[in-house]
Structure formats: structure tokens, C-alpha cells
């Protein structure tokens, strides 16, 4: 079996059948920050990704529920990658039809993965445009980055479309990264001037003894959007801020190729803080610049998870897109990939975003809130953000106004959160935004939160203050879950895996409830920039609240 190394994210929407072909992506929207510079030479090599229809996705979902529910007799009985592959691999007919279709166009240079549900194939642009009628490949540039995409809808013969979820590498353009900096506030003498590992460990009650101590435990961050960390920055950060607790100053494994450019602020933040709360735990970095202009790194990372049997137990990812910029077919398939990770005992944590409730501007029509994906996926744990009530003291926490949160317009509310969310909607009914702004029956997020405001980061050998975003809170929570996994493994217990069913059954136990503050949304007459507000128990700004580590450890160590 060959190993598949890189993939592309698509944007795919099945719209109609005509003349024996099924058309995808009737409206291809190119973001304004990308500039088209011309058609690709017909002989230029592209790499496209074919997502083959999987079997037994409903059984996979049922299995995930059973192994993630602490009240189930199957709780913690996770599957191996081989068992996952035997459950979901495409049928023989699907594999035969897709391969015959590719071979009929002279495409034979393809790689597959262990679950057999993705193919990555190389071909010239001319062949790709013949394979996918309607597609026209152009080169686009933004800043110093260059990618190849098709600006037009494409079609697939209807004999083939029933065997494919999507073809990747045609339409999806990477979103622009978040601005992680906030304006510095006035300093006050004698008080802490920003969040450091020591501040986090004080606030969340981590002692010097709360560090990793088991060999079979590991954690990971994933980097996209040309983001790289520098080992020298990590060593300098730990020298400055890690002296009060045992820690590691090096990443154990880099999967992918680190770029040669400057360190990215987000990459530095992720690595430095997951290794501060998840101290002394083996840490991996998945770095996915994309080996080819027709690749998109997020799906490359997702597929790598399906091709590696030995993986870290906790992954934190600070990456997302507007839900309405992605097709339902694409998001449903990515959800299946998340389920494949969850049934293996892997915890996936995603940042909730830094745009509050978001806003979709509708022109003359009424605006609406704009949820983010993968934050809105029912199969990941989504982390929001908080600030200290007094930004210069270790006090209680309030909402960080940028904290992403809301209700999916695509995915229904999962059973595990229905009671909590309905309780919130009832409690704050009188002060909710107008119902036309959000979907009360959708998957609600975030699930929990942590401090996301005014962090110190070392990047390119320079200490940088006032770095903010849920890109900070997510690795902080991930590191603590890694510590808890370590303690579970020492007791002979399985890893936490997909956390949400167990988290919601705690009903806020072992977390600091955040009850003050609102996040931002549409600047219009109706809501005037205010989205949802924090409230007792769960809310769509900070979830269940922030971790009280010793209490959370005790709650999640119970068998």
C-alpha cells in the first residue's frame, strides 16, 4: 500500500444532472484577496484528490456514540485504524468504477491510503480539464503565495458521481489567517502584564507536579496557511517562561516539511502553549505547506490521520472557514473523517474563531449570524475564549468579545447537548437576538473555553506581548486534556477520545462558569454589534466555562 502524502480541500455542491453529467459548484466565488494572473500551461502537472464514497458511515456514527458515552458498556473500547478501515472502506464496485474512469483518461499515477477512501492522482492540466468538463485552471496569487484552482464549475459523468463525495483541488481557496494582535492597554505597576504559562497554571490550579510522566502519551498541533514554528523560539520561550515547572524544550516529531521562511505568530503560539499546559508531554507538529500549488493543506492533514496507525491522542487546530463558504457534501465528508478519529480514541479540538457570532451581510435583506466550520461540527470539541475581569490580575474570567460561537445552519443539534442548549435558550429567551439571525435547532458551540486574551509569545526570537485569539485558548485546553490522558493511561484506562458526550454529562462540574459579557456580531440596527451573551451553565460564547484542572482531572479519572 502506498502512502498518500498531500491533499486539497474542495468546495463541492451537487446541483443538477444534464446530458449524462453531474455538475458541481455552479457558483465559484474567488475571494477578493486572491488575484488571478493567467491560465495554467496545459502541460503543467496538477495533483487532484478523489474522495471515494465510504460504506457504513451510519455504523461508524453509532460506534462513536457508544465508545464516547460514559454510560455505555462499550465506553473507551476504541477501534484500531485497521478496524476503522474494514468498516468504512469503499465497495469493490466504487473502487473499480473510479479507477476505470481515471484509467480511461490515461491517469495511472495515483496513490491511495490505508482506508482506501481517498485517491491522489497526478495529471496535466489539459487532462484534468478533459476529465472534469467545464473546469478551467488558473493561477492565483496572494502576498507571496501562489495556488492553482479552477474558476469555473465542473461536471462528472453520472455513472461516476454516485461513487464520489468530491474531487479536491479545484475550487477551494485558503482563507486568510486571523490577526492575533490587539492594541496594548495601559500597564499598571506591580501587576502581571499579560498571560504567561505561570499565569495560566495559577488560574487553572495546575501545580508544579502537574506535568506529563508517562511514555505512551503524546499531543499535537496542526499548522496551515504557510505557518511554521522555529525550534529556537520554543527554546527561548521555555527559558523565559517555563522555569517553574518541568517541561520539554523541543518538539519530538515534525510531520511534513517546515518552510524556510519566518516563524508564524500562530504557529509559535500553538506550540509554546500546548507544551506549557501539557508540560513534559511528547509533542508533534503537523506542518502542511502543500507540496504543490493545486493542493490545500487542511485535507492533507485530515487524510494523514487516516493513514497513520500511531498518532498523538490530542490534536489542537486553530483553523476555520465560514460555514456558508463550504458545500454540505464537503462538510459531511469531513465530519466522517472526524468520526474516524474519534472512534480511535483521538481527541480533536478546534478553535471557535475570533469573529464572535459572525455576520453574513445580506444587502437590502436582513443580516444573519455566520457560523464557522469545523467549529460547528458535532464531532469535535470546540474551544472559545475568555478574558480576565481585571486584565492585570489573576481574577475570575468574563467573555472575550471575539470568542466565536453560535448555532450551525447545516448540522442538527446532537443529542449530547440538547438539554443544555435548550436550557440556555429558555433562560435567556427575553434577551436573545432575533430568531431570524440564527438556527435554534443547530449544533451549538463552543463546548468549553479558556483565556484567549493578551498572551506573551516568542516568535523569530522576539518576545511579543498582547497576542490574542481562540488560537491561544485551544492549545491551552488541549495540553490539560493531554495531562488527564496521561493519568488515565497510568491507571490502565483508555484515552478520552471524543470528549463531548462525557463533557456535557458533567453539566459544568469541574469548570469555572463564565457568566458575564457578550461577543460581537452584525453592526446593524437590529442587533447593534451584539451577538450572544454568557449565562449560568452552558452558553454559546464560552460553552461550559474554563477548566479547574484538579477538579476536571478527578471527574475524568472516574471510570
Residues 145 and 209 in one domain: no
Q: Is residue 27 part of a domain?
A: no
Residues 348 and 455 in one domain: yes
The range of the structural domain enclosing residue 432 comes to 197-557
Residues 247 and 379 in one domain: yes
Q: Is residue 173 part of a domain?
A: no
31 C-beta neighbours (distance < 10 Å), count: 12
559 burial (CB, 10 Å; 0-12 / 13-18 / 19+) is exposed
- Looking at residue 182, its pLDDT comes to 47
Least trusted range by pLDDT, from 8-12, 196-200, 216-220, 426-430: 8-12
Please state the length of the chain: 559
Residues 140 and 203 in one domain: no
Q: Which residue among 168, 189, 205 closes a domain?
A: 168
266 is an active site residue: yes
Residues 272 and 311 in one domain: yes
Q: Is residue 39 part of a domain?
A: yes
Q: pLDDT, tens digit, for every residue of 401-454?
A: 999 999 999 999 999 999 999 999 999 999 999 999 999 999 999 999 999 999
Q: Which residue among 168, 183, 206 closes a domain?
A: 168
- Cell digits of residue 3: 502512502
71 is an active site residue: no
Instruction: Compare 155 and 485 and report the one with higher pLDDT.
Output: 485
Q: Which of 376, 471, 473, 482 is catalytic?
A: 471
Q: Is residue 189 part of a domain?
A: no
- Looking at residue 411, its pLDDT comes to 97
Q: Is residue 182 part of a domain?
A: no
The yes-or-no verdict on residue 377 having pLDDT over 80 is: yes
DSSP of 345-383, one letter per residue?
T-EEEEE--SSTT--B--TTSPPB---EETTT-TTSEEE
Strand, coil or helix: 558: coil
Mean pLDDT taken over the chain: 87
Count Cα neighbours of 463 within 13 Å in the Cβ-side half-sphere. Answer: 15
309 burial (CB, 10 Å; 0-12 / 13-18 / 19+) is exposed
Q: Is residue 192 part of a domain?
A: no
Contact 162, 17 (CB under 8 A): no
The yes-or-no verdict on residue 327 having pLDDT over 60 is: yes
Number of domains in the chain: 2
Mean pLDDT of 80-101: 96
Residues 150 and 207 in one domain: no
Residues 111 and 220 in one domain: no
For the entire predicted model, the pTM comes to: 0.90
Measured at the CA of 82, the angle between CA 78 and CA 84, to 5 degrees, comes to 55
Residues 220 and 278 in one domain: yes
Contact 321, 415 (CB under 8 A): no
Residues 446 and 550 in one domain: yes
Q: Is residue 15 part of a domain?
A: no
Residues 491 and 543 in one domain: yes
86 is an active site residue: no
The single-letter DSSP state of residue 368 is: B
Mean pLDDT of 521-528: 91
Residues 333 and 407 in one domain: yes
Least trusted range by pLDDT, from 209-213, 521-525, 547-551: 521-525
The yes-or-no verdict on residue 60 having pLDDT over 50 is: yes
CATH of the domain at 470: 3.40.50.200
- Looking at residue 147, its pLDDT comes to 80
- Looking at residue 12, its pLDDT comes to 29
Q: Which of 270, 293, 453, 539 is catalytic?
A: 270
Q: pLDDT, tens digit, for every residue of 497-512?
A: 999 999 999 999 999 9
Q: Which of 226, 266, 323, 354 is catalytic?
A: 266
Residues 446 and 534 in one domain: yes
- Looking at residue 280, its pLDDT comes to 97
- Looking at residue 406, its pLDDT comes to 97
Q: Is residue 176 part of a domain?
A: no
The yes-or-no verdict on residue 211 having pLDDT over 70 is: yes
Amino acid at each position: 500500500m502506498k502512502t498518500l502524502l498531500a491533499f486539497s480541500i474542495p468546495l463541492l455542491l451537487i446541483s443538477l444532472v444534464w446530458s449524462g453529467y453531474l455538475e458541481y459548484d455552479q457558483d465559484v466565488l474567488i475571494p477578493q484577496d486572491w488575484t488571478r494572473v493567467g491560465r495554467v500551461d496545459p502541460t503543467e502537472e496538477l495533483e487532484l484528490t478523489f474522495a471515494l464514497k465510504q460504506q457504513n458511515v451510519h455504523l461508524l456514527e453509532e460506534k462513536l456514540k457508544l465508545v464516547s458515552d460514559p454510560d455505555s458498556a462499550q465506553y473507551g473500547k476504541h477501534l484500531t485504524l485497521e478496524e476503522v478501515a474494514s468498516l468504512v472502506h469503499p465497495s469493490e464496485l466504487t473502487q473499480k468504477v473510479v479507477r476505470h474512469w481515471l484509467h480511461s483518461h490515461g491517469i495511472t499515477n495515483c496513490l491511495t491510503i490505508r482506508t482506501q477512501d481517498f485517491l491522489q492522482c497526478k495529471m496535466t492540466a489539459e487532462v484534468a480539464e478533459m476529465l472534469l468538463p467545464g473546469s478551467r485552471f488558473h493561477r492565483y496569487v496572494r502576498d507571496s503565495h501562489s495556488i492553482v484552482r479552477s474558476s469555473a464549475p465542473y461536471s462528472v459523468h453520472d455513472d461516476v458521481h454516485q461513487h464520489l463525495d468530491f474531487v479536491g483541488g479545484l475550487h477551494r481557496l485558503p482563507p486568510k489567517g486571523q490577526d492575533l494582535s490587539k492594541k496594548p492597554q495601559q500597564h499598571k505597576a506591580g501587576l502581571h502584564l499579560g498571560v504567561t504559562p505561570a499565569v495560566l497554571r495559577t488560574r487553572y490550579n495546575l501545580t508544579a507536579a502537574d506535568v506529563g510522566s508517562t511514555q505512551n502519551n503524546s499531543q499535537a498541533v496542526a499548522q496551515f496557511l504557510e505557518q511554521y514554528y522555529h525550534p529556537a523560539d520554543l527554546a527561548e520561550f521555555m527559558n523565559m517562561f517555563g522555569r517553574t515547572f518541568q517541561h520539554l524544550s523541543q518538539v519530538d516529531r515534525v510531520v511534513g516539511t517546515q518552510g524556510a521562511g519566518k516563524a508564524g505568530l500562530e504557529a509559535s503560539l500553538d506550540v509554546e502553549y500546548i507544551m506549557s499546559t501539557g508540560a513534559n508531554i511528547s509533542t508533534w507538529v503537523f506542518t502542511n505547506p502543500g507540496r504543490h500549488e493545486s493542493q490545500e493543506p487542511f485535507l492533507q492533514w485530515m487524510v494523514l490521520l487516516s493513514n497513520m496507525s500511531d498518532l498523538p491522542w490530542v490534536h489542537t487546530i486553530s483553523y476555520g472557514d465560514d460555514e456558508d463558504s463550504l458545500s454540505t457534501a464537503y462538510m459531511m465528508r469531513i465530519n466522517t473523517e472526524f468520526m474516524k478519529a474519534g472512534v480511535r480514541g483521538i481527541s480533536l479540538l478546534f478553535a471557535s474563531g475570533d469573529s464572535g457570532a459572525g455576520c453574513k451581510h445580506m444587502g437590502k435583506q436582513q443580516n444573519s449570524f455566520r457560523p464557522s466550520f469545523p467549529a460547528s461540527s458535532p464531532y469535535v470539541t470546540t474551544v472559545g475564549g475568555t478574558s480576565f475581569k481585571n486584565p492585570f490580575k489573576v481574577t475570575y474570567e468574563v467573555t472575550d468579545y471575539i470568542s466565536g460561537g453560535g448555532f450551525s445552519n447545516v448540522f442538527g443539534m446532537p443529542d449530547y447537548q440538547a438539554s443544555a442548549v435548550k436550557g440556555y435558550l429558555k433562560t435567556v429567551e427575553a434577551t436573545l437576538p432575533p430568531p431570524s439571525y440564527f438556527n435554534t435547532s443547530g449544533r451549538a458551540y463552543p463546548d468549553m473555553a479558556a483565556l484567549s486574551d493578551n498572551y506573551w509569545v516568542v516568535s523569530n526570537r522576539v518576545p511579543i506581548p498582547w497576542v490574542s485569539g481562540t488560537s491561544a485558548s485551544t492549545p491551552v485546553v488541549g495540553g490539560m486534556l493531554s495531562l488527564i490522558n496521561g493519568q488515565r493511561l497510568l491507571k490502565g484506562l483508555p484515552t478520552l477520545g471524543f470528549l463531548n458526550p462525557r463533557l456535557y454529562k458533567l453539566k459544568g462540574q469541574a469548570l469555572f462558569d463564565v457568566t458575564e459579557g457578550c461577543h460581537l456580531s452584525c453592526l446593524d440596527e437590529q442587533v447593534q454589534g451584539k451577538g450572544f451573551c454568557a449565562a449560568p451553565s452552558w452558553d454559546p460564547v464560552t460553552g461550559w466555562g474554563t477548566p479547574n484542572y484538579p477538579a476536571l482531572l478527578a471527574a475524568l479519572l472516574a471510570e
